């Protein structure tokens, strides 16, 4: 594997990897994840492109980005399941190239799809995982994990008969069996109801409280808000990183909110705003539309034709994460198209 230190970094709207100093995390502790230049190509196309990640121990880092942006591919490279075409670094102090096998033993990886046996019970699934890891005290590990994840009452239930939320809990239990210090969770709550998601996240925070580091991919903004820090990736490139506040501040967006009966569903209004110069994102939140751009004057011109429309109420508002991410993906799409045309 070749090191790529010294190559140009991708643009960051938020806090760059360069500015992420040890002082703002834990000065003494070595990062749990510390990789740079990670690149993976399929058919000549870089689906992960020069990605740097650094996560301090005990932190929860949210990994966000649209479908196909390279999250799963990155996670698989971090835990040694996929060999990068370029890049270097460590997970838990172990080299992602030379010590991939050791990383796999020490990291808990929850795959995007449920990978356990539906025709085995919760207990039998955990016991099977214990065998895979050749755990010395398998029985004890199963008992501890059942208690830790609140699965004792259901231990005899077949995995295939569990609801989505309980399946995810079992999958988390399975990747905790060998007491990993780093968890790589790939969309662990996709399709899970809000209450079960909240409970899952309480569990994640409890684990982080024990010093476990978590990299978790998600498409849910409420989950992004529960992370200590975020990395946003699109077309394989990191477009923003930092805390929620840092990312929002770094984007420098001006946002107008327009409220009215069905504002979110007035297709003509949305389309007109989207097409106007200077508008980077138009997003509906219930009956409110957020119209965001970076240039205050240009945005004022864009909304001017619609300001006088009856039934609509306009006001300036703060940007939220979704405004920022939609703006970033729009710009990235333009850059990507320009690169492809070159």
Q: Which residues bind Mg ion (CB under 5 A)?
A: 71-72, 112
Q: How far is the CB of 307 from ligand ATP (least distance, A)?
A: 37
**Residue 69 binds to ligand ATP (criterion: CB under 6 A):** yes
Enumerate the H helices of the chain as residue ranges.
Answer: 71-78, 100-106, 122-132, 138-148, 164-176, 194-209, 221-224, 244-251, 267-275, 296-307, 321-341
296, 300, 301, 307: CA torsion to nearest 10: 170
The single residue among 14, 31, 58, 70 that binds ligand ATP, judged by CB under 6 A, is 70
The single residue among 58, 65, 89, 242 that binds ligand ATP, judged by CB under 6 A, is 65
Q: How far is the CB of 114 from ligand ATP (least distance, A)?
A: 14
**Residue 237 binds to ligand ATP (criterion: CB under 6 A):** no
Cβ neighbour number for residue 338 with a 10 Å cutoff: 9
Q: How far is the CB of 67 from Mg ion (least distance, A)?
A: 8
Sheet strands side by side (includes 288-293): 281-285, 288-293, 254-259, 313-317
**Residue 290 binds to ligand ATP (criterion: CB under 6 A):** no
Beta strands in 43-106 (DSSP E): 45-55, 60-64, 86-91, 94-95
Cβ neighbour number for residue 223 with a 10 Å cutoff: 22
- Distance (Å, whole) CA 8 – CA 4: 9
> Given the rule CB under 6 A, which of 53-61, 64-72, 115-123, 268-276 is the region that contacts ligand ATP?
64-72
- Distance (Å, whole) CA 141 – CA 135: 8
**Residue 11 binds to ligand ATP (criterion: CB under 6 A):** no
Whose Cβ is closer to ligand ATP: residue 178's or residue 241's?
Answer: 241
The single residue among 22, 26, 30, 42 that binds ligand ATP, judged by CB under 6 A, is 42
Whose Cβ is closer to Mg ion: residue 10's or residue 112's?
Answer: 112
Chain residues that interact with ligand ATP, rule: CB under 6 A: 42, 47, 65, 67-73, 112
């Amino acid at each position: 594997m070749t090191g790529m230190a010294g190559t140009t970094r991708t643009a960051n709207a938020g806090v760059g990897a360069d500015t992420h100093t040890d002082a703002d995390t834990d000065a003494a502790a070595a990062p749990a994840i510390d990789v740079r230049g990670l690149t993976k190509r399929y058919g000549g196309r870089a689906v992960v492109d020069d990605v740097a990640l650094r996560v301090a121990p005990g932190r929860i880092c949210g990994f966000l980005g649209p479908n196909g942006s390279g999250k799963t591919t990155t996670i698989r490279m971090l835990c040694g399941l996929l060999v990068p075409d370029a890049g270097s670094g460590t997970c838990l102090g172990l080299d992602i190239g030379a010590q991939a096998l050791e990383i796999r033993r020490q990291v808990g990886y929850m795959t995007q799809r449920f990978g356990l046996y539906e025709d085995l019970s919760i207990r039998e699934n955990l016991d099977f995982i214990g065998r895979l890891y050749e755990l010395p005290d398998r029985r004890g590990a199963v008992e501890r994990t059942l208690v830790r994840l609140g699965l004792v009452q259901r231990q005899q239930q077949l995995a295939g008969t569990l609801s989505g939320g309980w399946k995810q809990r079992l999958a988390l239990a399975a990747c905790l069996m060998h007491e990993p210090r780093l968890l790589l969770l790939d969309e662990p709550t996709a399709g899970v109801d809000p209450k079960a998601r909240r409970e899952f996240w309480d569990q994640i925070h409890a684990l982080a409280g024990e010093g476990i580091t978590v990299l978790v991919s998600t498409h849910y903004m409420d989950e992004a808000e529960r992370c200590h820090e975020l990395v946003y990736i699109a077309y394989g490139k990191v477009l923003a990183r930092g805390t929620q506040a840092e990312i929002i501040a770094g984007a420098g967006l001006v946002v107008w909110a327009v409220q009215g009966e069905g504002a979110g569903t007035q297709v003509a209004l949305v389309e007109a705003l989207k097409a106007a110069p200077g508008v980077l994102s138009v997003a509906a939140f219930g009956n409110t539309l957020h119209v965001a751009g970076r240039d205050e004057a240009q945005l004022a011109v864009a909304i001017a034709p619609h300001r006088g429309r009856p039934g609509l109420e306009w006001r300036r508002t703060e940007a939220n994460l979704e405004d920022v991410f939609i703006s970033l993906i729009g710009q990235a799409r333009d850059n990507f198209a320009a690169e492809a045309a070159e």
